Amino acid sequence: MVSVIIPVYNEEDNIGKLHQELVSVLRKIGHDFEVIFVNDGSTDSTLKELKKLPGAKIISFTRNFGQTSAFDAGFKEAKGDIVVSMDGDLQNDPKDIPELLKKLDEGYDVVCGWRHPRNDTAGKIFVSWGARILRRILLGDTLHDAGCSLRVYKKYCLEGLDLYSEMHRFIPSILAARGFSVTEIKTNHRPRSSGQTKYNWSRAIKGFTDMVVLWFWQRYRARPVHLFGAGGLFLFLLGFGIGIYFFVARIFFGVSLAGRIWPLASVFLMLSGIQLFVAGLLADIAIRNYYSVSKEKSYFIREIIEN
């Protein structure tokens, strides 16, 4: 069975057409299927439209928790042993699904879409390009397109995957680090014809910080002291070196240090920077513990509807 997961947030004019396109593709692939829409706190008539779709399952959040939480809820509800994820704005093309499934059949655990050519604004394409370089450096992830939601997974990959923040972009990186085989194929990308994009520049910042956390987590979680120890030592030696330099200059060469704020300022800034960074990482560790130990979730479902 194939489960298709679609997060939607204010997509009233898109879901009807999407569902139609999707069902006509899914009928042809010769598997049982279910279509699960996750209504991520839409404030327009999306939920009303969803209730009209024959055979669809709807997970409806109490408010907007973000696309990542929507995927998480959908994955946990999916009954199929193959899971397909995609956007609900018609930018991904359901006609690509059979190709993705064929690739999965070759023995991969995950097949990702690569939106090529991309039908988005130049700004978005530029951010994706920068993100791709960083992903390659930090995570060793060589996929072209982390922002494409159209992907197919074997269900077992998704076990024990708790997603939050903007992490859905890094699912392939996480799964590859866990040893699953991940590949990509080019998929169609259509311009957004109705509704608005739900993201702005803040996505780039969130995505970047998530990437740093993931980099740390994958590399240093067992031995954070390697990173912080080395970084701490380096900064200490740097500060020590600057201190010695000015000490010698003052004592032996009579250089006046009055009015020289920069040595102090640089040490101060570096130390505060590292303090903040460490605090952020500790907070991340704490929050992971919190969510795994307590049964509390990072999102809340109001109702689950089966049409």
Q: Which residues form the interface with Mg ion (CB under 5 A)?
A: 89, 91
Q: Does 198 bind ligand UDP (CB under 6 A)?
A: yes
* Residue selected from 4, 7, 176, 214 as contacting ligand UDP according to rule CB under 6 A: 7
Q: Sign of the CA dihedral 146, 149, 150, 154?
A: positive
C-alpha neighbours within 13 Å on the C-beta side of residue 78: 32
40 or 49: CB nearest ligand UDP: 40
Q: Binding residue for ligand UDP (CB under 6 A) from 2, 3, 4, 9? A: 9
Binding status of residue 197 toward ligand UDP by CB under 6 A: yes
Question: Residue 150 or 281: which CB sits closer to ligand UDP?
Answer: 150
Nearest partner of 147 among 216, 83, 199, judged by Cα = 199
Q: Which residue number, 91 or 165, has a Cβ lying nearer to Mg ion?
A: 91
Provide the minimum distance between the beta carbon of 81 and ligand UDP in the complex, in angstroms, as a whole number.
24
- Using the contact rule CB under 6 A, the part of the chain among 29-37, 82-90, 160-168, 244-252 near ligand UDP is 82-90
**Binding residue (CB under 6 A) for ligand UDP from 3, 60, 67, 85:** 67
CB neighbour list of residue 132: distance below 8 Å, 6 or more residues apart: 144, 145, 146
**Rule CB under 6 A: is residue 88 a binding residue for ligand UDP?**
yes
Least distance in angstroms from the C-beta of 258 to ligand UDP: 55
Q: Does 94 bind ligand UDP (CB under 6 A)?
A: no
Q: Which of 155, 181, 186, 199 binds ligand UDP (CB under 6 A)?
A: 199
40 or 109: CB nearest Mg ion:
40
Look at residue 172 and give the partner it binds from Mg ion, ligand UDP, none, a contact being a CB closer than 5 to 8 Å depending on partner kind: none
State the binding partner of 307 from ligand UDP, Mg ion, none, CB within 5 to 8 A by kind. none
Neighbours of 28 (CB within 10 A): 9
Cβ proximity to Mg ion: between 40 and 89 the closer is 89
Instruction: Find the binder of ligand UDP among 91, 128, 173, 187 (CB under 6 A).
Output: 91
* Residue 207 partner contact from ligand UDP, Mg ion, none using kind-dependent CB cut-offs of 5 to 8 Å: none
State the minimum distance, in angstroms, from the CB of residue 214 to ligand UDP.
Answer: 19
Long-range (24+ apart) CB contacts under 8 A made by 141-146 are: 141/170, 141/172, 141/173, 141/176, 143/112, 143/114, 143/172, 143/182, 143/184, 144/114, 144/116, 144/184, 145/112, 145/113, 145/114, 145/115, 145/116, 145/118, 145/184, 146/170, 146/172, 146/173
Interface with ligand UDP, residue 45, by CB under 6 A: no
Binding site for ligand UDP (CB under 6 A): 7-9, 11, 40, 64, 66-67, 70, 87-89, 91, 147, 197-199
